[in-house]
A and B are shown apart, each in its own frame.
Chain A
Amino acid sequence: MSVTTPVPPPDFTPTPTVRARRGHATLDTRHAGWFTRITIAVVVLLWLIPTLGVLVTSLRPVHLVETTGWWTALAHPFRGASWTLQNYRDALDTGGFQNAFLNSLAVTVPATVIPVTLAAFAAYAFSWMEFRGRQFLFVLVVGLLVVPLQMALIPISRLYIDGASIGSFRFIPDFNLNGTFLGIWLAHTGFGLPLAVYLLRNYIGSLPSSIIESAKIDGADDFTIFWRLVVPLSVPALAAFTIFQFLWVWNDLLVAYVFLGGTSSTRVLTIALANLVGQHGENWQLLTSAAFISMTLPLVVFFSLQRYFVRGLTAGSVKG
């Protein structure tokens, strides 16, 4: 997302943040007792243990993984023989994971950017432009939030293969999009759009109208207002949805399975991983290292963008 030369931020701070700061400062005066701290520690530990098991297992040699539980390794953490990186090498070689990683990237980046862009333009129009059917169309979009995407898979893959026609007139040709990146981008775009439009409309609609009105008076057209004013101001919401969509597409198995298939040249990480589960049902050292490889990028994306997450996601729905 290129935010081109953001205008100097006008005198505008989103109100929820201000409230949060103020509220938080005073709540803080009641600090946590032992009960609170212990409860939090226990819950965090419970949540962390399964992932820890994967990490530890992925770093142990095969013969130890097969004979003892992963927790026994923690008893002797500094014994060199109980740790190895070999599993990661094996997983990268056997699973064809390099290829799958590239494919995941080629699917995920456009399948995130396209819906964010389409939704941002639509959200701007729904918030700040006058046109017939505005309310109705927006309600329709929100309603589509709850269509289970599983329902769409078969009709769309048929549309990709056969096109659609009335009698002999073919108004949608058979683009033969099955197995192409474009096909899966568009599918993910369709499935992600309702949530994207809903979230972004909430945020963009809550920007102060004075800024947009004054820009209009200064003679800026809608495209300029959108690009130079609304996009820079909406970075939290855009980032929040970007994280959401990125995690969803990167972690998706079903849509990739239907539209890209499981062949070795086009398959994405989740499919390679699922295949590994099928082939080597009990090869824990391979499975765990492969699972960790697939987690790395989402974790990096999440932790680098997470400060935007809450702010962007809840703006508009929080009433003070």
Chain B
Amino acid sequence: MTDDDAELAPAEQVPENAPEAATVPAEVRSPWTIVVRVVAAIAIPVAGYLSLSWAFGFLREGTANRLLIVLVAIALGVGGVFFAFWAMDRVVDWLPDRWRDTVRPYVFVGPALVILSVFLVYPVINTIIMSFKDAQAKDFVGLDNYRFVFTDASMLRSIRNTAMWIVFVPLVSVTVGLVFATLADRLRHGEAVAKSLIFLPMAISFVGAAITWRLVYSYRPAGFGSNIGLLNGIKVGAFGGDPIAWLSQQQWNFNNLLLMVIMVWMQTGFAMVVLSSAIKAIPSEIVEAARIDGASELQVFWRIVVPTIMPTIVVVTTYMVINAMKVFDIVFVMGNAESNHTEVIAERMIRWFFIQSNDGRGAAIAVVLFVAVIPVMIWNVRQFRQQEMTR
């Protein structure tokens, strides 16, 4: 595993130094100034990080009571970060006058940038390199892993399924969320309660949601106990006949659809809450004027409400698309993805990384996922630029 250290090192170096290089202001004359600034900007967060990790190593050795360890850990984590910022700010105060104002912004943004470089930028570069290597991440194998991604039957199915997730989940969540927000806006009482109940699944973990929905979709073959699943209860109660193994129904991707319903159930609340606040921000004069001119409620909704909150709809939809793209837990916990043909890309990736221990293939799948997200990223950055200009 250590063989690729030399490989990884240069990649690590780039994001670490890039922000610092950009920081050195033009008016700096003495090279000492640069050195001190760079050293200060890097050394202080690193020192904080080291002392925190030292304290933690100390804590780890201890075999004290669990509750005590947990309390110390919380105090250390929470207190540590506050102390680090305070200490860094004090250090900047000791610097000569003309350096303070230049250094201080980097004390404020520095820790965030360092963490982002280590935990997001570095892994992206590392994974791209790894995707061209073999299962142990040792030797380069060219495009083999990508060939696997685009030829393996299970992989292709996962790409097709993910495409369905991306379309279905945002479409249904945003539609239901928008309609519900619009209707709930007219309630005189109970709007908050209704909205909280729709939002409630957001507070449940994917594992908890999977248990919840297994109880809905549960199926037992004849001779393995009675069927206690809600869906089979309704099916047998209303239409008679035998219970159905819902999650094995591959016709028309019915089982895929049943899994997507779980995500819709979890995420609609978020869409609804955000859209609802956008609806409430529409200036009432516009809506009133339309009504006076004789517009029906449906016309008000389509011609005024929807166009006005379009920016918010787009943002929420994008967020949902990204989330649907990364979906993993639901499929993983509901089980038997391969035999049921319910694989998705992120689930395949975890399987190849952690269960089949094939780093190269796992990395290649990750890169495909990342590349699929890039158009969204470009769009995101453009949106931000536009927003900046209009501010």
B-binding residues in A (CB < 8 A): 16, 19-20, 22-28, 30-32, 36-37, 39-40, 43-44, 47-51, 53-54, 57, 65-71, 99, 102-103, 105-106, 109-111, 113-114, 117-119, 121-122, 124-126, 129-134, 136-139, 141-156, 158-159, 161-162, 164-167, 171-172, 175, 177, 180-182, 185-187, 189-191, 193-194, 197, 205, 222-223, 226, 247, 250-254, 258, 269-270, 273-274, 277, 282, 284, 287-288, 291, 294-295, 298-299, 301-303, 306, 309-311, 313-314, 317-320
Contacts and interface: CB of A to CB of B under 8 A. Distances in A.
Contacts of B206: 251, 253, 270
Nearest to B374: A146
Contacts of A48: 197, 200
Given A151-B124, A282-B225, A295-B205, 14 more contacts: A31-B187, A32-B187, A43-B198, A66-B226, A69-B233, A125-B109, A144-B121, A148-B326, A164-B12, A185-B77, A190-B115, A254-B350, A273-B208, A298-B203
A147 B76 CA distance: 29
B213 interface: yes
Contacts of B227: 69
Most chain B beta-carbon contacts within 10 A, residue among A111, A270, A314? A314
Contact of B188 (A32, A164, A258): A32
Given A65-B228, A197-B112, A317-B312, A143 B346 contact: no
Contacts of A175: 53
Interface stretch (B98-106, B150-158, B163-171): B98-106
B284 A23 contact: yes
Contacts of A284: 215, 228
A166 B6 contact: yes
13 contacts: A50-B216, A50-B265, A129-B105, A142-B384, A146-B377, A167-B6, A190-B119, A253-B329, A273-B208, A287-B211, A294-B208, A319-B281, A320-B281
A299 B203 CA distance: 6
Contacts of A287: 211
Interface string B1-39: 110011011101100000100111100000000000000
Given A106-B74, A117-B81, A44 B105 contact: no
A37 B77 contact: no
B136 interface: no
Contact of A251 (B208, B346, B359): B208
Contacts of A103: 70
A121 B88 CA distance: 12
- Shortest beta-carbon contacts, A-B, top 7: A190-B119, A110-B77, A251-B205, A125-B108, A152-B123, A131-B105, A155-B126
Interface in B116-141: 116, 118-124, 126-127, 130
Main SS of chain B's interface residues? helix
Given A31-B186, A180-B56, A146 B282 contact: no
A238 to B, nearest CB: 14
Interface in B286-335: 287-288, 291, 297, 311-312, 315, 322, 325-326, 328-329, 333
Main SS of chain A's interface residues? helix
Contact of B108 (A110, A186, A222): A222
B105 A277 contact: no
Contacts of B73: 106, 110, 181
B228 A66 contact: yes
Interface of B: 1-2, 5-6, 8-10, 12-13, 19, 22-25, 52-53, 56, 60, 66-67, 69-70, 73-74, 76-78, 81-82, 85-86, 89, 102, 104-106, 108-109, 111-113, 115-116, 118-124, 126-127, 130, 176, 179-180, 183-188, 194, 196-208, 210-213, 215-216, 220, 225-230, 233, 265, 268-269, 273-274, 276-278, 280-284, 287-288, 291, 297, 311-312, 315, 322, 325-326, 328-329, 333, 346, 349-350, 353-354, 359, 362-363, 366-367, 369-370, 373-374, 376-377, 380-381, 384-385, 387, 391
B277 A193 contact: no
A113 B81 contact: yes
Contacts of B311: 317, 319
A47 B197 contact: yes
A129 B200 contact: no
Given A125-B109, A151-B370, A190 B116 contact: yes
Contacts of B85: 117, 121
B78 A109 contact: yes
A142 B381 contact: yes
Contact of A137 (B67, B109, B201, B287): B109
A254 B374 CA distance: 23
A78 B108 CA distance: 60
A162 B281 contact: no
A23 B121 CA distance: 44
A318 B277 contact: yes
A303 to B, nearest CB: 7
A26 B144 CA distance: 63
Contacts of A132: 22-25
Contacts of B229: 69
Contact of B212 (A19, A36, A50, A258): A50
Contacts of B78: 109-110, 113-114
B369 A53 contact: no
Given A148-B369, A310-B273, A131 B106 contact: yes
Contacts of B176: 43
A69 B74 CA distance: 42
A230 B227 CA distance: 57
A253 B60 contact: no
A258 B179 CA distance: 39
A181 B233 contact: no
A161 B206 CA distance: 28
A155 B4 CA distance: 11
A268 B322 CA distance: 26
Contact of A291 (B184, B212, B322, B363): B212
Nearest to A158: B1
B212 A51 contact: yes
Given A22-B284, A277-B211, A165 B123 contact: no
B159 to A, nearest CB: 15
A28 B280 CA distance: 11
Contact of B115 (A51, A118, A258): A118
